[in-house]
Amino acid sequence: MFETLSDRLNGVFEKFSGQKTLNEENVQAGLREVRLALLEADVNFKVVKEFVARVGDKCLGQDVLKGVDPAQQVIKIVHDELVELLGGDTTELNISGSKPAVIMMVGLQGSGKTTSSAKLANLLRKQNKKPFLVPADVYRPAAIDQLHTLAKQLGIPAYQSTPDMNPVDIASAALAEAKEQEYDVVLIDTAGRLHIDEQLMEELATIKSNVSPQEILFVADAMTGQDAVTVAESFNDQLEISGVVLTKMDGDARGGAALSIKSVTGKSVKFVGMGEKLSEMEIFHPDRIAGRILGMGDVLTLVEKAQAEVSEKEAEEMALKMQKAEFDFEDFRTQMRRMKKIGSLDSILKMIPGMGALKNKLGDLNVPDSELNRVEAIINSMTNQERRNPQLINQSRKERIAKGCGLKLKDVNDLIKSFTQMRQMMKQMMGGGKGKKGKFPKLPGMGGLGGGEMPDMNALGGMGGMPGGLPGMGGLPGMGGFPGMGMDDSSGPSKKELQKKRDARKKEKKKKKQGRKKKK
């Protein structure tokens, strides 16, 4: 999402970079492009009109700083206005006060209420809350079973409702049970309809009056664009919703709903669903989303994701292993699995400031899961001893590993060779010992960003194990490669060099042997 809008806006900023000053002519030309970009992103036309007017006033008003690059001025103004458009400050749940707090999940059928209820319960549990799920959708076939299944997967308690019960009675009885069991938060998954009708709204209004929820969250499918905004407005008029949850934000929707919903309804987006996994729900941060749209990255979200997967102690242990070149296949497999949880390499690069342009230069970095699985299959075919001591893997062991994972011997050889090179590279980059400073290889097209001291990757909560070990990064100098991923393996020694080394070793052995004979 937002990719097309981001590309269009960056194109506008590039045009301003050649200007010496901001004047009415170049500002209006740029604003026309911004207007088209927002309309193409399916943003409400009234919202676009107001947004463009505010940006224009600031660009030509006293807010412009003299002596500053015009392109940077425009980016700053657009960024600030985007943050306001997306809701301003991050809006948290209002679940303080009397326990248990009640959250009603409302919306149309198919918007993702049931899954979002489970995701939100999982998120609240990570915040040390005790959530209680309540399936109150008695109309959709298997809706109750679906929530019970999700609750079981997460290990979160759920109210034992049945399809023959009344939704209002379910909500009241569940609240009483939650008080008795001392749960912190009750999440009621209400019924949806294919369209808004009076019966649905009356039922929701009755539940609201009976349980007095602190939060009524409207769940909207981001893929429906402006329709989601219109439906949210209707629900808000009749129920007075407190916030919005946007699902399928990882899809190819144009982002119009996220950019319009606050201006139209007056209610902020509080959470976004970023994937199908029950862990993939994020708090909506307007400033971070604005940064992503403008290509500024989102390091804070990346840090939070990384910290969720690895502790500070584990990160320090991993960094120490890399310094001593003790990073083994067991560690590599762990890091690869963690990276899968954090997201694709493509999504990680987008979150790092300045790396969006590098992503385009390196081509498609979305390494298919099947390719990562091949690497993991080879590692899984090794014994525990082999994974922890890669130097033990001789020819016969390689043949056994290849048979065990169903791949060719060449694939196993390529992985071991690349891993050895990568481990040495890590040692150099991390300093290789106490008091030494590592050097980071220059990245193509990055100019002065490469070749300096190795940045502190441990600040990303364990990301330190990743430089050089990111599958698919074969295009970077010295990074090595992995089988089946189209990765460059030119960083290693050539065949001639290897042969020279072998010949030198043979001569050395021959000399020693002759020396021993003379002594005798």
Quickly state the pLDDT bin for 475 (edges 50, 70, 90): very low
φ, ψ for residue 105 (rounded to 5)?
-100, 115
Q: Which residue has the higher pLDDT, 468 or 225?
A: 225
Residue 90 has pLDDT above 70, yes or no: yes
pLDDT in the model for residue 259: 80
Most confident residue range from 81-85, 147-151, 198-202:
147-151
Q: Please, which residues bridge with residue 185 across strands?
A: 101, 131
Predicted pLDDT of residue 120: 93
Per DSSP, the residues of 88-153 read SSPPPP---SSSSEEEEEE--TTS-HHHHHHHHHHHHHHTT--EEEEE---SSTTHHHHHHHHHHH
Instruction: Give 375-407 pLDDT, tens digit per residue.
Output: 888 999 999 989 888 888 999 999 999 999 898
Most confident of 161-175, 184-198, 499-513: 161-175
Structural contact between residues 457 and 463, judged by C-beta atoms closer than 8 angstroms = yes
Q: What is the pLDDT of residue 337?
A: 75
Query: Distance from first CA to last CA of the chain, Å, rounded?
Result: 79
Can you tell me whether residue 359 is helix, strand or coil?
helix
- For the cut 70, the answer to whether the pLDDT of residue 55 exceeds it is yes
Which residue shows structure tokens 């430089």?
Answer: 467
What are the phi and psi torsion angles at 319 (to 5°)?
Answer: -65, -40
Distance of CA 257 to the CA centre of its chain: 20
Most confident of 83-97, 122-136, 341-355, 358-372: 122-136
Which superfamily does CATH assign the domain made up of 3-85 to?
A: SRP54, nucleotide-binding domain (1.20.120.140)
Query: Which residues belong to CATH 1.20.120.140 in the chain?
Result: 3-85
Query: What whole-number distance in Å separates Cα of residue 520 and Cα of residue 517?
Result: 5
Number of neighbours of residue 228 by Cβ within 10 angstroms: 28
d(CA 421, CA 428): 11
Q: What is the pLDDT confidence band of residue 449, given thresholds at 50, 70 and 90?
A: very low
SS3 call for 215: strand
Q: Where in the chain is the domain with CATH 3.40.50.300?
A: 101-286
Mean local confidence (pLDDT), 352-375 = 57
Average pLDDT over residues 411-419: 87
Give pLDDT, residue 474. 34
**pLDDT class for 158, splitting at 50, 70, 90?**
very high
Mean pLDDT of 357-368: 49
CB 288, CB 341: distance < 8 Å: no
| pTM reported for the whole predicted model | 0.62
* pLDDT tens-digit map of 169-204: 999 999 999 999 999 999 999 988 777 778 888 999
Where does residue 235 rank: exposed (0-12), middle (13-18), buried (19+ CB within 10 A)?
Answer: buried
Where does the pLDDT of residue 419 fall: very low under 50, low under 70, confident under 90, or very high at 90 and above? confident
Q: What is the CATH T-level fold of the domain 101-286, as seen in this structure? A: Rossmann fold (3.40.50)
Give Cα separations from 409 to 65, 382, 392, 396, 403 (angstroms): 63, 13, 16, 10, 8
Torsion on CA atoms 245, 247, 253, 254, rounded to nearest 10: 20
DSSP code for 218: E
Q: Which pLDDT score is estimated for 316?
A: 66
Q: Find residue 216's DSSP bridge partners.
A: 104
Rounded to whole angstroms, the Cα distance separating 508 from 504 reads 6
Percent over 90 (pLDDT), the chain: 21
**Given this model, what pLDDT does residue 144 score?**
92
Per-residue pLDDT, averaged over 16-26, amounts to 72
Answer whether 174's CB lies under 8 Å from 103's CB.
no
- Return the CATH fold of 306-465: 434 Repressor (Amino-terminal Domain) (1.10.260)
pLDDT score, position 506: 73
Q: How many residues appear in the chain?
A: 520
Provide the 3-class DSSP secondary structure of residue 221: strand
Ramachandran region of residue 486, left (φ > 0), alpha (ψ -120 to 50) or beta? left
Backbone φ and ψ for 223, nearest 5 degrees, come out as -70, -20
What percent of the chain stands above pLDDT 70? 68
Average predicted confidence (pLDDT) for the chain: 74
Q: Where are the alpha helices (DSSP H) in 310-440?
A: 312-323, 329-342, 345-351, 355-362, 369-380, 384-388, 395-405, 409-430
At residue 461, the pLDDT reads 35
Structure tokens at 436: 């030494």
Q: Which of 158, 164, 163, 151 is nearest to 177 (CA)?
A: 158
- The DSSP symbol for 295 reads T
What's the chain's Rg over C-alpha atoms? 28
- Residue span(s) of the chain under CATH 1.10.260.30 come to 306-465
Asked whether residue 298 carries a pLDDT value surpassing 80, the answer given is no
- Residue 34: the pLDDT is 84
For the ranges 18-22, 106-110, 325-329, 355-359, the maximum mean pLDDT occurs at 106-110
Dist. CA 455–CA 442, nearest whole Å: 13
97-142 residue pLDDT tens? 778 999 999 988 888 899 999 999 999 998 889 999 999 999 887 8
pLDDT above 80 (res 462) = no
Count other Cβ atoms within 10 Å, centred on residue 448: 7
Residue 50 φ/ψ region, left for φ over 0, alpha for ψ in the -120 to 50 degree band, beta for the rest: alpha
Q: Cβ distance 442 to 418 under 8 Å?
A: no
Q: Is the pLDDT score of 473 beyond 50?
A: no
Strand (E) or helix (H) holding 216 = strand 215-221
Which pLDDT belongs to residue 468?
Answer: 36
Q: Is the pLDDT of residue 96 over 90?
A: no
3-state SS assignment for residue 271: strand
Confidence class for position 365, pLDDT limits 50, 70, 90: very low
